[in-house]
Structure 1
Amino acid sequence: MSLTTADTRLDQWERRLEHQMAAAPYVLLVISTALHWLIDERPWSHRLATLGLAALAAAWIWLMGRGPMKALYVTGLVILIAALGTRGLWFVAFFGFTGYLHSWRDLNGKWKFAGVAATAAVSVAAYSGGPPDPTPSGILTYLFFTGAIVALVGLFSFVGDITIERSAQRKRMVAQLEEAMRENAGLHAQLLVQAREAGVLDERQRMAGEIHDTLAQGLTGIITQLQAATQAKADEDEWLRHIDNATRLARDSLAEARRSIHAVGPGPLESTPLPAALTAVAAEWSGLNAVRAEVMTTGPVRPIHPEVEETLLRTAQEALANVAKHAGATRVGLTLSYMEDVVALDVRDDGGGFDPERVRDGGGFGLTSMRKRVSRLAGTLEIESEPGAGTAISASVPAIPRETLRA
């Protein structure tokens, strides 16, 4: 059963109980009058007088019970109960309960007990046939039964008050819970909007990185080959070689761009392990740039998560692109190291180097892209360089097994 359903049922029961409590005085008065009318054998005039007194009691409850003068109302109610009790015990046995209920309901503090005690006093007197005998035993017996009735009525009424307070507390808690649920619904909507915006931003950053790693690098290579072809017009074979290289770069860049759009891994990793893919990338780069590139693998080669392999391969491609654009190197070495918990890629060249302080805040987009890729996998990227002494880039990422699913 849901909270809403249970709360609705409790509210229905409480409303039903309120209606029953409102109708109880009249029902008890009707029962008392009917029993008295059927059993009493006194003259009709006495019965009619009793009926008129009962009607007066009903009118008093109807008119005064809803007004603000509660003390006056309870006083009149107790007097009417006493008067009807002299007409017959049925009124004390049934209608007398109204005095207990309304005294406790309408009076405050110690006056509750005063109203209950007055009702109990007239009830005990009616059962006893009048006031107690003016003897110690008679008075003590009268006080005992009166006190016992007051104690019992007070006990059960106190339990009822606790139940009412618990019900009110439950209603407040339900109201607070509903308010909290409404606030949570608003927060949830805000989180959805923020998550959607974050997803859009992440996708933009991913596309920016992929475009840089594919189209930008490819276009740079194409421009380099076309410029070389322009300078080699006199040598037809050399000219054709550069044109073929530019054409191949254009096809490869187009294929990689399509893969990036569909969030597919790099082509070299489709059917070959990372060491072989890295060797193929280095060999192609070496052929295009006429710079010797050597690849070495250390440690036991094992399958690792595709995203880890893609990160290392993209890092190698970016490092090689930077060497081609800036280093003026004659030799590049790539070392792929499989260790127990991490996989590391080191790219070293013998080029002109640079001042690392100039790129401490991230450097160009290429270095920024490498840092973001590596840090996304909780890895580290370190750059060591010195003007005239070459450059070393080291990327280290966790060796996540291939069967591990992406979080």
Structure 2
Amino acid sequence: MNRRAWSSSLDFAVGPGGPLPEQWNRWVDHRLPYVLLAVALLLSRRADVLPLAGVTLAWLLAKDVVVPPRWRSHGITLAVWFAGTLTLASMLMYRDTVLLVFMISCFFSALKLKPAPLGVLGLAATSVMINTIGSGGPGQALSEDPELWLTVIAVQTTAICGGAMMARTISEQNEARRAALAELETALRENAGLHRQLLAQAREAGMLEERQRLSVEIHDTLAQGFTGIITQLEAAEGAERDPAEWRRRLATATALARENLTEARRSVHALRPGPLEEAGLPEALNAVAGRWAQRSSVAVEFTATGTPRPMHPEIEATLLRITQEALSNVARHARARRVGLTLSYMEDLVTLDVRDDGSGFDPARRGDGFGLTGMLHRVQRLAGTLAIESEPGAGTAISASLPAIGAAT
């Protein structure tokens, strides 16, 4: 990245050619903090945090209502607003750690800070607070186990910075290719011989689309991994009086961090997911389910029907990722006691069914927080279908069907 880009913000949704649409960019800036605050309060259900939540709401409104539009994107305004938001989010989280949901918005605010080194500092500050408040605050956490917390904070900050800088680079490349394609289209009207060059640029655009897909997959892998790490660390905090359980939770968090780093490296090098490297799909899904059950203490029953046979790598990788996302959703939202996982090989289709006996939800009002949209995109990309059946109190069933394309195809 050149010096000019480094001196600006780390914002990964910049410009009309960025990897995220401008409408989404505005939504993240002006609506996401309010949504996360509301979700945090609903999860907390504590009346004693409402006064401070009211102050926080007034602070959020001040930037969107009181500050003149021409000043809202100024570096000083963004820095002051971020500092105030992080302070209020930290005060809320000290009262109830569930309110860390609202502090997640500070990561997005930090990406807007200018210059970029200030954004990195903001990300690190947010990571420090969101990871250590639940363990007594930065001072206590860093004094008791500095190696663990500094590693978690460094990995988290580096991952988010790397993702933002990668997305920004892709955005710049995307915009450059758009301009090149526009020039080629104009020249094509004057010289039909440039048609072959236009096709070459179209192929490059396809390569860019694949890079964007890879960026999303890395982000999803890291996000799930960090969620699992935080969950295990919070569980370890609650097991301080049980040394064996504390060590088990800590070992699980460390193993998750290593797995997450390995999967990120594999995605960068366009390798198959680790569980599929040395095992077939049924064995890989069984292993993933077993590790998840051990971490979440939820019973999982895996079943494979039909005659297992090697599928195209994209088919197997998609089914593995859907399994991981579905199990992650169960752990975060379902409060289930049992999960059933079935892989079925048929003549023309291979299907994956994930069922749980958890709290369920209304599919028509699920929003975008359950990762179901990402599952749908993965399945549709391979001409498959995704069916979701759920209702409050009756559990959830997810069924993904993909064409049974053999590995030799």
Superposition TM-score, scaled by structure 1 size: 0.52
Q: Given the alignment of the two structures, is residue 272 of structure 1 paired with residue 279 of structure 2, yes or no?
A: yes
SS of aligned partner of 2:386:
strand
Q: Equivalent of 1:200, from 177, 189, 208? A: 208
Deviation digits for residues 29-86 of structure 1, max 9, x if unmatched? xxxxxxxxxxxxxxxxxxxxxxxxxxxxxxxxxxxxxxxxxxxxxxxxxxxxxxxxxx
What are the residue-to-residue correspondences of 1:113-132 with 2, within 5 Å? none
- Between 371-380 and 328-337, report the one with greater CA deviation: 371-380
Return the alpha-carbon distance in structure 2 between the equivalents of residues 352 and 335 of structure 1: 20
State the match for 2:234 in structure 1.
227
Q: Given the alignment of the two structures, is residue 391 of structure 1 paired with residue 399 of structure 2, yes or no?
A: no
Over aligned residue pairs, what C-alpha RMSD do you find? 1.9
Do the aligned partners of 2:334 and 2:395 also contact (CA within 8 Å) in 1?
yes
Return the alpha-carbon distance in structure 1 between the equivalents of residues 189 and 333 of structure 2: 59
Do the aligned partners of 1:383 and 1:394 also contact (CA within 8 Å) in 2?
yes
Return the alpha-carbon distance in structure 1 between the equivalents of residues 374 and 188 of structure 2: 43
Q: How many residues align?
A: 223
- Between 298-307 and 281-290, report the one with greater CA deviation: 298-307
> In the TM superposition, what is the alpha-carbon distance from 1:181 to its structure 2 partner?
9.7
State the match for 2:379 in structure 1.
374
> In the TM superposition, what is the alpha-carbon distance from 1:205 to its structure 2 partner?
2.5
Matched to 1:330, the amino acid is R
Return the alpha-carbon distance in structure 1 between the equivalents of residues 385 and 196 of structure 2: 35
Matched to 2:207, the amino acid is G
Gaps of 5+ in 2: 1-186
SS of aligned partner of 2:359:
coil
Matched to 1:203, the amino acid is R
Do the aligned partners of 2:360 and 2:395 also contact (CA within 8 Å) in 1?
yes
Superposition TM-score, scaled by structure 2 size: 0.52
- Between 383-392 and 184-193, report the one with greater CA deviation: 184-193
> In the TM superposition, what is the alpha-carbon distance from 1:248 to its structure 2 partner?
0.4
State the match for 1:403 in structure 2.
408
> In the TM superposition, what is the alpha-carbon distance from 1:366 to its structure 2 partner?
2.2
Q: Which has the larger radius of gyration?
A: 1
Gaps of 5+ in 1: 1-178
State the match for 1:321 in structure 2.
328
Runs of 4+ in 1 over 4 A off after TM superposition: 179-182
State the match for 1:355 in structure 2.
362
Matched to 2:402, the amino acid is V
Return the alpha-carbon distance in structure 2 between the equivalents of residues 273 and 387 of structure 1: 35
State the match for 2:307 in structure 1.
300
SS of aligned partner of 2:288:
helix
Deviation digits for residues 323-355 of structure 1, max 9, x if unmatched? 111111111000000001000000000111111
Q: Equivalent of 1:184, from 185, 192, 214? A: 192
Return the alpha-carbon distance in structure 2 between the equivalents of residues 396 and 180 of structure 1: 43
Q: Equivalent of 1:262, from 269, 280, 290? A: 269
> In the TM superposition, what is the alpha-carbon distance from 1:190 to its structure 2 partner?
3.5
> In the TM superposition, what is the alpha-carbon distance from 1:255 to its structure 2 partner?
0.5
Change in CA separation of 1:337 and 1:372 when aligned onto 2, cut-off 3 Å: same
Do the aligned partners of 1:209 and 1:369 also contact (CA within 8 Å) in 2?
no
Matched to 1:200, the amino acid is L
Return the alpha-carbon distance in structure 2 between the equivalents of residues 309 and 196 of structure 1: 26
Return the alpha-carbon distance in structure 1 between the equivalents of residues 368 and 196 of structure 2: 38
What are the residue-to-residue correspondences of 1:83-98 with 2, within 5 Å? none
Do the aligned partners of 1:353 and 1:385 also contact (CA within 8 Å) in 2?
yes
Matched to 2:337, the amino acid is T
Return the alpha-carbon distance in structure 2 between the equivalents of residues 222 and 180 of structure 1: 54
> In the TM superposition, what is the alpha-carbon distance from 1:364 to its structure 2 partner?
3.6
SS of aligned partner of 1:351:
coil
Matched to 1:186, the amino acid is L
Return the alpha-carbon distance in structure 2 between the equivalents of residues 192 and 383 of structure 1: 40
State the match for 1:243 in structure 2.
250
SS of aligned partner of 1:397:
strand
